[in-house]
Structure 1
Amino acid sequence: MKVDRYFASSKICNVCGNRKKELALSERTYICECGNRMDRDVNAAVNILKEGKKIYKKCA
């Protein structure tokens, strides 16, 4: 599966779905209002996995 290259995987909270307007590359920890706090790259990876599964379900 391919996820759109402009999918904002780093800016979306993988727990609540809240999307940050700005997220500097220097911010290595993703912190959300819902309390989710995790490595920025891990958060992005979880979001990409979820998006890939969503795309797969549409195709199946």
Structure 2
Amino acid sequence: MKKGEMDRLVVRVDDGTKRKWDIYCAVKGTKTQQELERFVRETLEQFEKEHPGIFRS
């Protein structure tokens, strides 16, 4: 991996209680902003399938 390259992005989710999750998005090899956004969106969509309603306020 080259200096300055990311291999993962961590998204912290807090559901308003004491529960928190660190979601690791594998982003190694992404070349564009669109690719990065797609990887993060897909990872968060999968997380929401496993935890329905987690992102609703």
Q: TM-score, normalised by structure 1?
A: 0.39
Q: State the structure with more CA Rg.
A: 2
Q: TM-score, normalised by structure 2?
A: 0.41
